């Protein structure tokens, strides 16, 4: 599996003020989108999320997003290594993702930038 990088996931109460801070820190503009009632802003290597507490509580369980070249390859590698896929692969606004539970109990999102097929 080709790992391209990671994104740090941060749940925030005030998305607008968080965006201002992270845009200044990273020197990049936020890319915004909504997903299942949650407002999301990608700013550099940070993924800021804000929304209803019941949705945010689920999102807090995912430690980080791991960018991969191919979600299908990640799926195979992860399951062969003993991870359990708990969601996906599914399309996202920029590609596809899956959520994996590692044998140690860690939960990670794996995402690529390939269109769904």
Query: What pLDDT is attached to residue 117?
Result: 57
What is residue 86's predicted lDDT score, i.e. its pLDDT?
A: 95
What is the rounded (10 degree) CA torsion for 48, 52, 57, 63?
A: -20
Characterize 36-55 residue by residue with b for buried, 16 or more Cβ atoms within 10 angstroms of its Cβ, and e for exposed.
eebbbbbbeebbbbbbeeeb
pLDDT tens column, 27-81:
999 999 888 889 999 999 999 999 999 989 888 999 999 999 999 999 999 999 9
Q: What is the pLDDT of residue 92?
A: 82
Per-residue pLDDT, 114:
81
Tokens (6 digits) for 108: 């990670």
CA-to-CA distance for 27 and 43, rounded, in angstroms? 9
Contacts of residue 15, defined as CB under 8 A and 6 or more positions apart, other chains included, come to: 39, 41, 48, 49, 50
Question: Could you report the per-residue pLDDT of 11-21, keeping only the tens digit for each?
Answer: 999 999 999 99
Average pLDDT of 1-24? 94
Q: Which domains does the chain have, with CATH numbers?
A: 3-112 (3.10.180.10)
Question: Could you tell me the two tokens for 55?
Answer: 């949705």
Q: What is the pLDDT of residue 97?
A: 93
Residue 58's pLDDT is: 85
């Amino acid at each position: 599996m080709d790992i391209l990088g990671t994104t740090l996931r941060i749940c925030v109460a005030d998305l607008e003020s968080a965006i201002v801070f992270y845009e200044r820190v990273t020197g990049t503009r936020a890319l915004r989108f909504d997903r299942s009632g949650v407002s999301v802003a990608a700013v550099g290597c940070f993924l800021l999320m804000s929304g209803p507490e019941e949705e945010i509580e689920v999102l807090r369980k995912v430690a980080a997003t791991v960018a991969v070249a191919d979600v299908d390859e990640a799926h195979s590698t992860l399951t062969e290594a003993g991870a359990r896929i708990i969601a996906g692969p599914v399309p996202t606004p920029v590609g596809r993702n899956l959520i994996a539970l590692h044998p140690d109990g860690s939960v990670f999102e794996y995402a690529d930038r390939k269109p769904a097929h």
